[in-house]
Chain A
Amino acid sequence: MALTASTYRISRCSSRSLFRRIALLSPLTLVVFLTGCLSQKMYIDPALPKVEYAELVSTGEKHSVQVFFEFQSKGSLNANATQQLKPRVLADIKKSGLFTSVSEAADPTNAGYKLFITINNVPVDKNAVSKGVGTGLTFGLVGTMVTDGYTCKASYQRPEIAPIEKNYTHAIYTTIGNADGPKGLPPLKPQEAVFQMVDGFTLNILNDLRKDSAL
């Protein structure tokens, strides 16, 4: 078999030098290719009251409503997350049955009934990135748990009546690699956890507006 120039050069390397190179390159290669495989589990903080759809019984006349939803990261508009989570919020509000119709577009039938919901992802762990890198470099042996904080601000506006404002807080815990999650909380997949956080906020807003006899 004919040897190419490069294979010939390699064949001339001492086996010791070659093994040293492989030994040095392997961790780097593994870091690059395997870090995405580290297990990630999320846990929903239990502090926000659990509201069931069955509790959402209207206390007054039903109206149509225009819903405005915005997801922020550290107080700034996060267009991607807003786009992904808006359908979930609209579906939750429709499912509640507290409005005759629910839309995100301006509609004459809304007659001035507007519900603004803003969720803001705020940092709780300031060194979350460095903790995550540490976990990645040890292939998950040194696990990490980080906390994502969320605040939610809602404003329900009706014609000629002062708006009703509501504020809530929530948290999602994420473990990466070999770390224990909060005791007593079931692990969830990332999308499931984020949806539960959004559902929790939305149903609490609706329930509290209902208790205020606004719905």
Chain B
Amino acid sequence: MKMLKFWFAACVSVCVFFLSGCSATAPNYQTSNDNIQALSAIPGQKVAVGAIEYGPKGHALNSLSIRGGSFNSPINDSWAAYVQGALESELTASGRFDANSTIKVSGTLLENDLDGASFSTGTAHISVRFVVERNGQKVYDQVVTVDNQWDSSMIGAVAIPAARRNYIATISVLIGKLFRDEEFERALR
């Protein structure tokens, strides 16, 4: 019985070593070369960025964790604000951002999931309703959704950084998908 307890304790120790995470804050968003080139290909005026609000699920969408450790946004502890900042960064880097433009992109965060628990595959799912207004008139209203997956691992030291990295990459893919939407392109022309 004592040996059983000992092995249970040892297994718990090993699991803690291999699986545990701790609280982390995401790095600042970095623009994607593919997104900037896609945006540069769209002719038209400069664009303002409005708020990305929380949808019906509210601030529950803000709570992301990877193997017991929370993963937080560096912007007001809000993933909606992070998506907004990412969009603004891409527009700014491509020379297409103007806070006073009559064309404004805003949005609503509808889904925001990150799962790095699996030993084989990590997944992220983000969905945002983007709206483009021109002189106050809605000219684009579409839900853009991205499901991303990547190789995970039993070892936390491998799986946790991969989940953090790929979640941010998922936001980059989401914005790229918006820029490549023909209706979005027409709304900016």
State the A residues within 8 Å of B (CB).
17, 21, 24-25, 28, 32, 68-70, 73-74, 76-80, 82-83, 86, 104-106, 116-118, 129, 133, 155
Return chain B residues, CB-CB under 8 Å to A25.
10
Contacts of A104 in B (CB 8 A): 93
CB distance from B143 to the nearest CB of A (A): 22
Chain B residues with Cβ below 8 Å from A118 are: 33
Q: Select the residue from B29, B30, B32, B172 with max chain A CB neighbours within 10 A.
A: B30
Q: How many A-B residue pairs have CB under 8 A?
A: 69
Question: Which residues of B sit under 8 angstroms from A80, Cβ to Cβ?
Answer: 27, 165
Closest to B17 in A: A32
**Residues from chain A with Cβ under 8 Å of B95 in the complex:** 106
Q: How many residues of B contact A (CB 8 A)?
A: 32
In the complex, whether B158 has a CB less than 8 A from a CB of chain A is yes
Interface of B, secondary structure class, is helix
Residues of chain A within 8 A (CB-CB) of B158 are 129
A21 to B, closest residue via Cβ: B6
User: Which residue of the partner chain, among A77, A79, A82, contacts B26 with CB atoms under 8 Å?
Assistant: A79
For B92, list chain A residues within 8 Å (CB): 105-106
Contact indicator B93/A77 (Cβ below 8 Å): no
Q: Interface centre among B29, B166, B169, by most A CB within 10 Å?
A: B169
Query: How far is B153's CA from A129's CA once the two chains are assembled, in angstroms?
Result: 9
Bitwise interface map of B from 150 to 182 toward A, beta carbon under 8 Å scored 1, else 0: 110101001000000110110011000000000
> Which among A21, A68, A83, A133 is the interface contact of B36 at CB below 8 angstroms?
A68
Could you say which residues of chain A place their CB within 8 Å of the CB of B148? 76
Known interface pairs A28-B13, A76-B166. Does A17 touch B30 (Cβ–Cβ under 8 Å)?
no
A64 to chain B, nearest CB (A): 13
Residues of A within 8 A of B173 (CB): 76
Residues in A neighbouring B165, C-beta threshold 8 A: 73, 76, 78-80
Question: Given A77-B168, A105-B93, A116-B37, is A82 in contact with B6 using a C-beta cutoff of 8 Å?
Answer: no
For B28, list chain A residues within 8 Å (CB).
Answer: 79, 83
Instruction: For B26, list chain A residues within 8 Å (CB).
Output: 79
Complexed CA–CA distance, A21 and B168 (Å) = 44
Q: Are A24 and B33 in contact (CB under 8 A)?
A: no
Does the CB pair B29–A79 fall under 8 Å?
yes
Given A79-B27, A83-B30, list of 13 further CB < 8 A pairs? A68-B36, A69-B33, A70-B30, A73-B165, A74-B150, A76-B166, A77-B30, A78-B165, A79-B165, A106-B92, A106-B94, A116-B33, A116-B36
Residue B14 at the chain A interface, CB threshold 8 Å: yes
Chain B's closest residue to A78 (CB) is B165
A-B contact pairs, 8 of them (CB 8 A): A28-B14, A76-B150, A77-B172, A79-B29, A82-B30, A86-B30, A106-B92, A116-B33
